Amino acid sequence: MPGISSASASEALSSIGQPARVVHLFVADSSGVASAPLAEQVRRSLLDFRAAGIAVVVNTSIPQIVSVQLKLQFLAGADTTLIGELARAAVVEHLNSLPVNGTLLRASLFQVLQRFAPNGLIVSDQSVAAPTGDVVPTPGQTIRTRLENVTLI
């Protein structure tokens, strides 16, 4: 649907684990948020697709800002300033591509950094100082960051 960059649905269960005939749908635009009018547009469009009798509760996502600290090492002669800034920007792009309710896997940060190894970045288990583990957002939130939240230490 235009304007929606990600969505996550979960089925509600009764106290005995049976389907409660309700689905919670979280939607977000590229910034990790969705407006009330956009959510209403989703609600209206679902009238054509939902199963009979199953209620779909549309919720707008809110961003959960995550900070990242990188401790980078370089080969002698590498342009450390340029590579450091490009790595920061790549981390921002990666985090801001995660879907609603999407987990930030710490290992994925190492994969992002590995792209700069041909340019002289030495990626080691010390390259990502924070977060120290995977980051699981609160239900209905979308992990996001800004360049100022990705720092080199």
Report the chain's mean pLDDT, rounded to a whole number: 93
pTM above 0.85, yes or no: yes
Least confident of 52-56, 77-81, 110-114, 140-144: 52-56
User: Quick one: tokens of 70?
Assistant: 């990188």
Q: Which pLDDT belongs to residue 74?
A: 98
- Report percent pLDDT > 70 for the chain: 98
Q: Report how far residue 37's alpha carbon sits from residue 102's, in angstroms, rounded to the nearest whole number.
A: 23
Q: Using the 8-state DSSP alphabet, how is residue 133 labeled?
A: S
Say yes or no to pLDDT of 39 above 70.
yes
Q: Report how far residue 122's alpha carbon sits from residue 116's, in angstroms, rounded to the nearest whole number.
A: 8
- Confidence bin at 50 (pLDDT 50/70/90): low
Q: What are phi and psi of 69, to 5 degrees?
A: -115, 130
The mean pLDDT of 57-69, rounded to a whole number, is 95
Provide the H-helix boundaries in 98-146: 106-114
Q: What is the dihedral of CA 107, 71, 81, 97, to 10 degrees?
A: 30
**Burial level of 69, CB count in 10 A (0-12/13-18/19+)?**
middle
Higher pLDDT, 132 or 43: 132
The mean pLDDT of 22-44, rounded to a whole number, is 90
Identity at 89, one-letter amino acid code = A
Q: Which pLDDT belongs to residue 84?
A: 98
- Confidence bin at 47 (pLDDT 50/70/90): confident
Q: Which pLDDT belongs to residue 30?
A: 87
Least Cα distance to 153 among 88, 67, 71 occurs for 71
The mean pLDDT of 76-98, rounded to a whole number, is 98
- Confidence bin at 55 (pLDDT 50/70/90): confident
Q: What are phi and psi of 80, to 5 degrees?
A: -65, -35
